[in-house]
Structure 1
Amino acid sequence: MSDSAGARRSKVARLVDEHDLAGVGDELEARWTATGDDHWSLRDLAAEFNRELVGERLQAAGLRPSDSEIETIVQWLTGAEVGAAERTQLRRRLEREGVDVDALDRDVVTYQAIRSYLRDYRGAEYERASGDRTETVADAIQKLRGRLSSVAETKLEQLRETSHLSLGEFHVMVDVGVYCTECDSRYGIVQLLDAGGCDCGETDR
């Protein structure tokens, strides 16, 4: 699916145009909407996009970085564990070569930006294949939510009818959240499964 001209401009779309990353949008969509082993998670797509972006920026500055160098820089920019000495060396080296490190730091993206680009800007949707393990887990949790909601509603109605509870017309809402103590991030269960993981190793941008 091609980019929608009328859609709200996204960070990823802007970067694709500004840095002439031709074909990257189609590639991201194809990998995300694929099924089975060909499917890429939003987190993997964000990492790949950042590698493409960093590689292009360094080449534009006249550098010829290796894949491992690009990976190290991406890890540094996205908050992965890189030693303080190595961070300082990377910044100094890039600045000597004429790379605007602060601008590059602002441009790397998170999986949330990739999700917004694919869903809201390109109108893409990922439909999980039948039997997908993640889908099976999501369905099981949704069924449990529905069961808990039904039981809670029945019990509340019984209490209200016996005058033990004063309550008008109501709806029972059951939310299942996940909190990761390592990266201090919170997700709804469906959001977490869709993203393919939490924010460990990432910083908000």
Structure 2
Amino acid sequence: MSEQTRECNKRYKVGRVLSEYDLLDLHDSLPDLWRGESSDPMSLRELADHINIAVLERAMEDAGETPLDGESENAYRLLTGDDVSVGMQTQQRSRLTRAGIDVDRLEDDFVTHQAVHTYLTDALDVSKDVETADPVETGKERIERLRGRTTAVVENTLSELQNAGHLSGGSYDIFVDVQVYCSECETQTQLSELLAAGGCECE
């Protein structure tokens, strides 16, 4: 990482939360994650979710839990997702409460993308150097990250259903395929092929 280690500025919510949950490595990597110096850059919303998932995972660990791969991500989605029913959200809150987690306090500690932006720019004095990145590549990277998250959520959900006896079967492999249909030329193409070709058969 090109930036030197910074102390958490507890006058800001992001700094206070990362300090209280002992997420100092994540704190030090925030500028890099935002600017994408050694990996794909993350948007402020993605960065806020990344912080909140880490907070949730640390809370689970402090309560004596050992989260499996993707479990903390799925738990966060069940708590905050717009597509999650009230019943599923209540069930997830109850599960965390039984594990000894103060869910109300946990949710109060979740940060917003505005808070992340304020912390990066004001507390850490970080600016995002806007370069002329290839918009197609940027779009492909964003979609691939979403596909990866979708795969993790599906795998974790199927595992939970199997463990609870609601789903039979063996080990499932998950494939997330995105097809794009053009109503003008009536062609259907895989998204990756469409992006690589620069469009469909329409002039």
State the TM-score bracket (shorter-chain normalisation): 0.5 to 0.7
Give a deviation string over 1:12-56, Cα, whole Å, max 9, x none. Answer: 100111111021122111111226972211111111111111000
Aligned CA RMSD, in angstroms, stands at: 2.5
Deviation at 1:108, TM superposition (A): 1.0
Q: Across the two proteins, how many residue pairs are aligned to each other?
A: 133
Q: Indicate if the aligned counterparts of 2:14 and 2:111 stay in contact, CA closer than 8 A.
A: yes
2:59 match: 57
SS at match of 2:24: coil
The whole-number CA distance in structure 2 between the counterparts of 1:77 and 1:85 is 11
Bigger Cα Rg: 1
Query: Gaps spanning 5+ residues in structure 1: where?
Result: 135-205
Deviation at 1:82, TM superposition (A): 1.4
Q: Indicate if the aligned counterparts of 1:32 and 1:41 stay in contact, CA closer than 8 A.
A: yes
Amino acid at match of 2:116: I
Query: Gaps spanning 5+ residues in structure 2: where?
Result: 137-203
What percent of counterpart residues are identical? 35
Aligned pairs for 1:1-205 (under 5 A) are 1=3, 2-3=5-6, 9-34=11-36, 38-131=40-133, 133=135
Amino acid at match of 1:83: S
The whole-number CA distance in structure 1 between the counterparts of 2:71 and 2:40 is 26
Q: Indicate if the aligned counterparts of 2:10 and 2:16 stay in contact, CA closer than 8 A.
A: no
Amino acid at match of 2:127: E
Deviation at 1:131, TM superposition (A): 4.5
- TM-score where L is the length of structure 2: 0.58
The whole-number CA distance in structure 1 between the counterparts of 2:109 and 2:53 is 12
